Amino acid sequence: MKFVHYLEKITDISIYPVISFCIFGLFFLVMATYVIKSDKKHMDENSRIPLD
Amino acid sequence: MQVEKFYYDNKIVRAFAYATVLWGIVGMLAGLWVAIQFYAPAASLNYAGTTFGRLRPIHTNAVIFAFVGNCMFTGIYYSLQRLCKARMFSDLLSKIHFWGWQSIIVLAALTLFFGMTTGKEYAELEWPIDILITVIWVVFGINMFGTIIKRRESHIYVAIWFYIATWITVAMLHIVNSIEIPVNLFKSYSWYAGVQDALVQWWYGHNAVAFFLTTPILGLMYYFLPKAANRPVYSYRLSIIHFWALIFLYIWAGPHHLLYTALPDWAQSLGVVFSVMLIAPSWGGMLNGLFTLRGAWDKVREEPVLKFFVVAITCYGMSTFEGPMLSLKNVNAIAHFTDWIIGHVHIGGLGWNGFMAFGMLYYLIPKMFNTPLYSKKLATNHFWLGTIGIVLYAIPLYWAGFTQSLMWKQFTEDGTLQYPNFLETVTQIIPMYITRSIGGTLYLIGAFFMVYNLYKTVKQGSFIADEAAEAAPLEKAHSHAKEYWHRVIERKPMQMLVISLIVVAIGGLIELIPTFLVKSNIPTIASVKPYTPLELQGRDIYIREGCYTCHSQMIRPFRDEVARYGEYSKAGEFVYDHPFQWGSKRTGPDLAREGGKNPDSWHFMHMFDPRQVSDKSIMPRYPWLYQNDLDISTTPGKIRAMQTLGVPYEKGYDQIANTALETQAKEISFGLKTDSKVKQLMTVEGISNPEKKEIVALIAYLQRIGKDIKGGQKSKTAQASLK
């Protein structure tokens, strides 16, 4: 059983997953860059906030 | 700089903590009661309010919104003040929030008990309560943001990000899913129909798990775990990635609740992919929690609080691994509609939410009462009882799920179903249901240990209502020119709120918009017509009694399901279903093609006492349907509401609907009276004028389900799939 007709009737349906992946990929890269480049001292300070 | 002296408000924390304990016990008791009904149907007491279909939503709402809700508020009100080094923004708003939330819980319990429900899982509450929830949620939001704004700590700690994301996302989900048209004060219809309603509902349902049961509790983990272990979180960097990746990915995964259904395939696939990706941030968070205890495992041996946290975080890891696995279509084909899902959910509910709540309470109450915990030994016993309870709860249900699913799918060599009688597959797993309820009982006994232990702790301590603290005020604006953008928003709660909303809205919009805008997503089927007035009333009784909690109305395109139930379900069949009633669990058989399968007299006898018709059936009895007169005064209003929603009843049909209703009821009643068994039952039970009773409306609905495309005209969908 296939729901092929749904896929046929939405023009360029494949764009949805592609867009999704691109958005997430970009988002993740920006986030990862920030985290990697961030200052260790700053991170350590922040992580101690609950204990202060 | 001058240090300021201020006081943390512990009274509000104590109030929420007590409410957590109270509603936890109530919710678990309701859960145990429904669990017992699986093997002892008489436990429904043959009374409407205590029947499974009404009690189960009371259980789920109580544990989710009352127990975990109050737990979340306890933790947030405690940790937010300390992380912001500020008292809550407004004591008055705190009180309004507390009493407003408790009123919602009481109203929810009462309305669900009386059968007032929207029929949408985990969003059952009727529209006036929905509005009240919105108001109280806004009060909570103002109080939370007010506190963050007046904080004395520059950086907004990661736990608060989770609180912010929780607040904004729950607001969005609640509003979108609760759009409904009121018929009267106690009844409304979902704005959406069929496939669209299903997509919105599970977008909501899945993310209610994500943003009500997960993100706020992760926030609590990031605060209370370091506090209890007296060491900072393992990696603050990882917590940042955990946060953003989790809130981004979670929102897309809703459609994994609707695999193989009539939902468009692309939406299903999107749901699967994002569900699998979700493992990464979830496990990142779990490891971050567990690694926080590196070098401190000796403390875990002695400290019950840490014991609870360790098992809670482990259960979080198990659940979030199992969830994506269940989203794979081949695994889902086995697990969906079975008790496996109930087992999975309770690893999260009992293990993650329950144990985080217990650990937090064991930590908080002694702190606020300035005394050690009354008995660590008792808390450790609670821990072990709870842990064994979880194991005894979940494993039998995994076993039951597998067993039943394999039995459903088993064919003989001749190509016929090995177990054509659904009931055979139910009686097979009764021992597992019994074991599950023993597990639940152990867990509940453990919770009673905690009640006693906390009570004694409270008695021996003295409450610090206003806890003194000191901190320097926050320095006013200084240049951030060379800082990363993220570091800037870490100081700005409103920007954090807006960015969180954008992040969570992306997934929802990409999923929902095409389903709503592209008309061809729901191919119309010419033979599908609106319900007759009597069927509509019957459908509302079906919803009121919570039939959807045990019966699905969704035949998946599998060989065994088509052989057992009939032609698989099509999107176009549900265009007039406000709300959809696909269900998520098959304790009883699917009803999508129930219409015409059994005669009216069978339904009449069956609903009165299922065991008279099917020996060993575990379905409850519904004797009140034979006594209650059908309230037909609501019919015109219901028809008008449906017309507003686009159901093509003719203009002015609301005025003549009751005539049509009475005619159909008389026809059914006339047919029933020709059956000797029915006549005998009516005489013995003193049932008169069946045409005026609710049972006739319910029979009319049951006989209609799935009939529109049965036999005669094949749908376009069916034809397309045959090509």
Q: Do A19 and B153 touch (CB under 8 A)?
A: no
Q: Mean per-residue pLDDT for B363-378?
A: 97
What is the pLDDT at residue A30? 87
Nearest CA-CA distance, residue A29 and chain B, Å: 10
How many Cβ atoms are within 10 Å of B233's Cβ, its own excluded? 26
Q: Which residue has the higher pLDDT, A3 or B661?
A: B661
Beta strand pairing call for B180-184 and B466-471: unpaired
Whole-number pLDDT of residue B273: 86
Q: Which residues make Cβ contacts (< 8 Å) with residue B566, sequence separation at least 6?
A: B555, B592, B593, B706, B710
ω into B579 cis (within 30 of 0):
yes
Q: Which of B107, B139, B108, B106 is nearest to B122 (CA)?
A: B108
Query: Which residue type is seen at B316?
Result: Y
Give the H or E element holding residue B8. strand B4-9
* Confidence band for B476, pLDDT divided at 50, 70 and 90: low
pLDDT band per the 50, 70, 90 thresholds, residue A13? low
Give B241→chain A minimum CA distance, Å. 7
pLDDT of B351 higher than 60: yes
First to last CA, chain B: 79
Query: CB A50 to CB B231 under 8 A?
Result: no
Chain B touched by A29 (CB under 8 Å)? no
Distance CA B638, CA B183 (A): 6
Q: Which of A12-21, B84-93, B166-175, B580-589 has the lowest mean pLDDT?
A: A12-21
Confidence label for B712 from pLDDT (cuts 50, 70 and 90)? very low
| Nearest-by-Cβ selection for B155 from A10, A32, A49 | A49
Q: What is the pLDDT of residue A10?
A: 55
Retrieve residue B567's tokens.
């032609």
For B99-104, what is the mean pLDDT?
98
Q: What is the pLDDT of residue B522?
A: 62
Question: If you average pLDDT over residues B710-721, what whole number do you get?
Answer: 42
- Across the interface, do B484 and A44 touch by the CB < 8 Å criterion? no
Mean pLDDT of chain B: 92
Chain B residues touching residue A25 (CB < 8 angstroms): none
* Contact call for B487 and A38, based on CB within 8 A: yes
Q: Which ipTM was obtained for this model?
A: 0.79
Domain ranges of chain A: 4-51
Q: Higher confidence at residue B307 or residue B200?
A: B307
pLDDT at residue number B300: 93
State phi, psi for B446 to the nearest 5 degrees.
-55, -45
Nearest of B56, B156, B31 to residue B113 by alpha carbon: B56
Confidence of residue B512 (pLDDT cuts 50, 70, 90): confident
Q: What is the mean pLDDT of residues B212-236?
A: 96
Give how far the C-alpha of residue B677 lies from the chain's centroid of Cα atoms, to the nearest Å.
Answer: 40
Confidence (pLDDT) at B497:
84
Query: Considering only CB atoms, which chain B residues are within 8 Å of A38?
Result: 237, 484, 486-487
For B72-82, how does the pLDDT look when each residue is reduced to its tens digit (9 = 90+)?
Answer: 999 999 999 99
Q: Min CA distance, A27 vs chain B (Å)?
A: 9
Q: Considering CB atoms only, which of A19, A24, A46 is closest to B236?
A: A46
Confirm or reject contact between A26 and chain B (CB < 8 A).
Answer: no
Specify the pLDDT at position A12.
64
Confidence at residue B337, expressed as pLDDT on a 0 to 100 scale: 95
**What is residue B722's predicted lDDT score, i.e. its pLDDT?**
30
pLDDT number for residue B438: 98
Residues of chain A found within 8 Å of residue B157, distances taken between Cβ atoms: 46, 49-50
Asked if the C-beta of A3 comes within 8 angstroms of chain B's C-beta atoms, the answer is yes
B717/A5 CB distance under 8 A? yes
Chain B CB within 8 Å of residue A50 CB? yes
pLDDT at residue number B105: 98
A41–B contact, CB cutoff 8 A: no
Contact B486 A34 (CB under 8 A): yes
Q: How confident is the model at residue B718 (pLDDT cuts 50, 70, 90)?
A: very low
pLDDT level of residue B625 (50, 70, 90 thresholds): very high
Measure in Å the smallest separation between the Cα of A21 and chain B Cα atoms. 9
Give me the mean pLDDT over the A14-36 stretch.
81
Out of B82, B236, B245, whose CB is closest to A43?
B236
Among candidate residues B579, B534, B553, the one with its CA nearest the CA of residue B699: B534
Burial class (CB in 10 A: 0-12, 13-18, 19+), B473: middle
B188 pLDDT band (50/70/90 cuts)?
very high
Chain A residues within an 8 Å CB radius of B363: none
Q: Which of A13, A24, A50 sits opposite B266 (nearest CB)?
A: A13
Of B233, B240, B274, nearest to A35 by CB-CB distance is B240
For residue B542, which amino acid is it? Y
For residue A38, give how far its alpha carbon lies from the nearest alpha carbon of chain B (Å): 8
Min mean pLDDT across B380-389, B440-449, B481-490 is at: B481-490
Give the gap in angstroms from C-alpha B80 to the nearest C-alpha of chain A: 10
**Any B CB within 8 A of A13 CB:** yes
Q: Are B64 and B213 in contact (CB under 8 A)?
A: yes
User: Which of A2, A4, A5, A6 to mutate to test binding with chain B, by most B CBs within 10 Å of its CB?
Assistant: A6
Which residues of A fall within a CB distance of 8 Å from B233?
Answer: 47
CA distance A8 to chain B (A): 10
DSSP-derived letter for residue B417 is B
Provide the shortest C-alpha distance from residue A23 to chain B (in Å): 9
The shortest C-alpha distance from B156 to chain A (Å) reads: 8
Q: How many helices (H) and strands (E) does chain A have?
A: 3, 0
Helices B376-409 and B304-327: angle between axes, nearest 10 degrees: 10
> Do A6 and B231 count as a contact with CB atoms less than 8 A apart?
no
Identity of the residue in B244, B273, B510 whose CB atom sits nearest the CB atom of A19: B510
Q: Do A3 and B265 touch (CB under 8 A)?
A: yes
Lowest-confidence range among B278-282, B372-376, B385-389? B278-282
Q: Give A-chain residues touching B360 at CB under 8 angstroms.
A: none
Measured between beta carbons, which residues in chain B are less than 8 angstroms from residue A46? 155, 157-158, 236
Which candidate from A5, A43, A51 shows the least CB-CB separation from B523?
A: A5
Structural domains for chain B: 4-461+485-507 (1.20.210.10), 533-722 (1.10.760.10)
- The pLDDT > 90 percentage for chain B reads 80
Half-sphere CA count of A32, side-chain side, radius 13 A: 8
Whether residue A6 has pLDDT greater than 60? no
Find out whether B378 and B453 touch, Cβ atoms under 8 Å.
yes
pLDDT of residue B716: 39
pLDDT value for B234: 94
Interface test with A, best of B266, B715, B722 (most A CBs within 10 A): B266
A–B: how many Cβ contacts below 8 A? 108
Confidence category of residue B161, pLDDT binned at 50, 70, 90: very high
Give CA–CA dist B167/B541, Å, rounded.
Answer: 34
Q: What is the predicted pLDDT for the residue at B525?
A: 78
Mean pLDDT of the B147-162 span: 92
Asked if the model's pLDDT at residue B352 lies above 80, the reply is: yes
